[in-house]
Structure 1
Amino acid sequence: MLAPRLPVIGWRTFAGAAQVDQHSLLDHPRHLPTTSGRAAILLALECLNVGPGDLVLLPSYHCPTMVSPVKTLGADAAFYPIDEHGVPRLDWLSAHGPAHPKALLVPHYFGLPQPMDAVRAWCDARGIALIEDCAHAMFGRAGARPIGSWGDVAIASLTKFFPTPEGGILALNRADLTLPPLTPAGRIEQVKAASDILHMGATHDRLTGLNRLIRGAFALKSALRRVVSGGGAPAAPSQYGELDESSEIDANMALIDLPLSHRALTRASGWISRRVPRRRIVEARRRNYALFTEAFSGRDGVHPLLPILPPDCAPYVFPLWVRTPDPGYLEMRRLGVPVSRWDRLWPGVPALPGDAGKAWSHHVLQLACHQDLTDADLRRIVEQVERLFIAPAR
């Protein structure tokens, strides 16, 4: 049984206290559920009136989903360097940044809150809109403010923290900005979202007593579809229709589906994000992050990129620096280990002085540490890292 790359629904999903001390973007007073984090970025740019001829500053270390909304709206992207903690190099931007950017996007990498007061002051002094990217950071505080409260706009991703097949958040902090209207999801989209939630839970054996029944129903559905369509091999199960890595990257680097970006979140996905107890999410992720920190500290060939976990956050992934990541990374993917790497940067990212971003894109592996990994899943991740990347003791 492959470990899930993202959270999946199971009976344990509804265990534990509903609330937790950490602030959540779902508690933001002016937030709008969207179909994805990428859609939320596009809607944020539209709220800021970003369009053709405008320039948006983006970090050198990025997922293509940060860039494609900018390109979809006909705007230009320029890339800035980050330091060894993932903080924007404001000194470089002040001395060498392009003139008159419309917006600056700053992520809280891996779910660890970045200091934002200096970034906020830098943007205010220049009249630049700040987009706070909380796709990795659903919970916690960044300095004196809750996550998502620093930017003119903030965005987040539900799928990274909740067992939903889709979902993002757009949050507005400026009084002059207005949440956009969205088109309701259709009946087929509503049913598909609900069925995908159950299917992935059963695929990973998390719904004891219903797993065989649900898997059998989906197998029958697939068989009937093949008969109607004239045959063909059944599709391999994957998490919420996840593409293989190369196809997923190519899709993320394409322009965005505008109607989908302006569609409302399905009821099932919204219900999950509102009703699932949060304490288990936060506590399990922090526990798993600490487990990986202990397992990989002081080892030859790897080290935790950011070993100190701030007290008020819930990590999305565990960033592991690997001295020689290839070909071991592809072997981990082949084996179904829940790991990813942002190694396909948008074309044209320059080599910048003092930039950690390009090195991170090669050496940093993002290990899943979410709440629905079992102890066996965690052991297997550690074992594969030790086998593929850690030099044996002499």
Structure 2
Amino acid sequence: MPVPRPKIPIAPVLSRASFSLARGGRPASVLDAGQVRKVTSGRVAIAMALRQMGVGTGDEVLVPAYHSPSMVPPVLWCGATPIFYRIGADASVDLDDVAAKTGPATRALMVTHYFGFPQDLAAIRAFCDARGLQLLEDCAHCFFGTHQGRPVGSWGDYAIASSMKFFPVYEGGCLVSARHRLDAVKLRPSGPGFEAKAALATLENSFSHGRLPILDAMLRLPLRLKDAAWTTLKSRRAAASGAAAALAPASSDSGFEFEPRWIDRRSAWFSRAVMACASTGRIAALRRRHYLALAEAARGLPGCRPLFPVLPEGVVPWQCPLVFDDPEGVFERLQAAGVPLVRFAQVRWPGVDGATCVNSAMLARRVLALPCHQELREDELAWIAGQLRAALHVQASAA
């Protein structure tokens, strides 16, 4: 009898274990880097950081060629022009190319810590200081961790983070600054509809992956009634106004859109409460353990290697990125099996291609990232590792 395919969450989902204590204490995070404002997404935080930097019309912002397309619209919203710089084959910043592309109109350098692994921040900070550039530290993949004994996020003039990549919440991001005060950044609530959406979507995502079964059974009927009532309400609002405004930003549903109306909006109370109560020690310890387990499962497999073969002390990964010789064949097999995957930067800003940066195009094509978050169960992690081995052995046999 075939083993049923598990429905594995690609991102953390709420469970009873989310709040259990873990040994090792509280890990450092971007929240320790400086003043913090908790907003609805990382891309909104990028726009707010650029605004705080004074970036405007006629300015240029250096953006990595290896990027999510959601990173670019905040630059355009400020009236600035994105200039794309190259990265190395290991996703490190190519400072020689950054220097070549720095001109009189360059105001800021955006640096991304891919998959949770910090860049060489001391060298990048010195580069920016020598040229009068402001540094925007993109910690969307790197909420927790340290570099040379300092929390991630503390090297930039400003830093941004995406809390929903690390905590079991539906929405959330952070604007942080170690060098500038954020007293002038005043956040306002987004209303009861947004608050309800943030809480209920978090719970429903948890229920859909088999977590919190008792609460799921208790709320099943009320949630069905809620769905029916909300469908009716949306249809009425759409009929009256021609369109129904979304209760939450597109980023919460993995969309790439940038919606300026969410700027200066506070993250939902439910999300902030989960972040305050969740065991951060557990998050860091399990993500590291799961990363090492997946990297070990990939060791020695044909046509596969970890992008980051060593997990340094202080690094808390977002995903486990693996580099494949034949990514398409593996992707098709893993996707058909139901393994959740991330192909970061597979879609990039129009015009950013191999001519812009050969390594960006290579990594976007060849890297498949497996989940290593703290809410994976041991049997789910073992199943993912088994599917990876099976997919690569089938491919090797076919070759």
> Common fold, TM-score beyond 0.5?
yes
**Local SS of the residue matching 1:209:** helix
Aligned to 2:308: 306
Is 1:359 equivalent to 2:349 in the alignment? no
Q: Following TM superposition, by how much is the alpha carbon of 1:224 offset from its aligned partner in structure 2, in angstroms?
A: 4.8
Query: 1:311: Cα distance to partner?
Result: 0.8
Deviation track 1:47-92 (CA, whole Å, cap 9, x = no partner) reads 0111221111111111112112112222111111111332211122
Paired residues, number: 380
Query: Alignment identity in percent?
Result: 36
Q: Is the 8 A contact 1:9 1:163 kept in 2?
A: yes
* Counterpart mapping for 1:1-394 below 5 A: 1-17=6-22, 20-175=25-180, 178-225=183-230, 248=254, 251-252=255-256, 254=257, 256-330=258-332, 332-333=334-335, 335-341=337-343, 342-351=345-354, 355-390=358-393, 391-392=395-396
- Say which SS state the counterpart of residue 72 (structure 2) adopts: helix
Q: Deviations over 1:322-342 (max 9, x none)?
A: 111115425544554221102
Please give the root-mean-square deviation of Cα atoms over the aligned residues, in Å: 2.7
Deviates more, 1:18-27 or 1:38-47: 18-27
What SS does structure 2 have at the residue aligned with 1:281? helix
Measured after TM superposition, the shift of residue 179 of structure 1 is: 4.8
Q: Which moved more, 1:296-305 or 1:204-213?
A: 204-213
Deviations along 1:236-282, one digit per CA (max 9) or x if unpaired, are xxxx99989xx95xx41x4x211212211111111111121111101
CA distance in structure 2 between the aligned counterparts of 1:228 and 1:133, rounded to whole angstroms: 38
The 3 A distance-change label for structure 1 pair 12 and 6 is: same
Of residues 123-132 and 201-210 in structure 1, the stretch that sits farther from structure 2 once superposed is 201-210
Tell me how far apart the structure 1 counterparts of residues 145 and 295 of structure 2 sit (CA, whole Å): 20
Alpha-carbon separation, structure 1, partners of 2:260 and 2:336 = 33
TM-score (norm 2): 0.87
Q: Which runs of 5+ in 2 are unaligned?
A: 1-5, 236-246
- Equivalent residues of 2:157, 2:178 under 8 A apart: yes
Cα distance per residue 1:77-136 (max 9 Å; x no partner): 111111133221112222354553111000111011221111111111111110001111
Give the structure-1-normalised TM-score.
Answer: 0.88
| 5+ long unaligned stretches in structure 1 | 231-239
The aligned amino acid for 2:265 is R
Q: Which amino acid aligns with 1:368?
A: P
SS of residue in 2 equivalent to 1:159: helix
What is the CA-CA distance between 1:218 and the residue it aligns to?
2.1
Aligned amino acid, residue 153 of structure 1: Y
Deviation at 1:140, TM superposition (A): 1.4
> Counting helix residues as a fraction of each chain, which structure ranks higher?
2
Contact 1:22–1:313 (8 Å) recurs in 2: no
CA 1:380/1:18 → structure 2, altered by over 3 Å: closer, same or farther? closer
Q: Give the equivalent residue in structure 2 for 1:235.
A: none
Q: Name 2:239's counterpart in structure 1.
A: none
Cα 1:17–1:381 shift into 2, 3 Å: closer
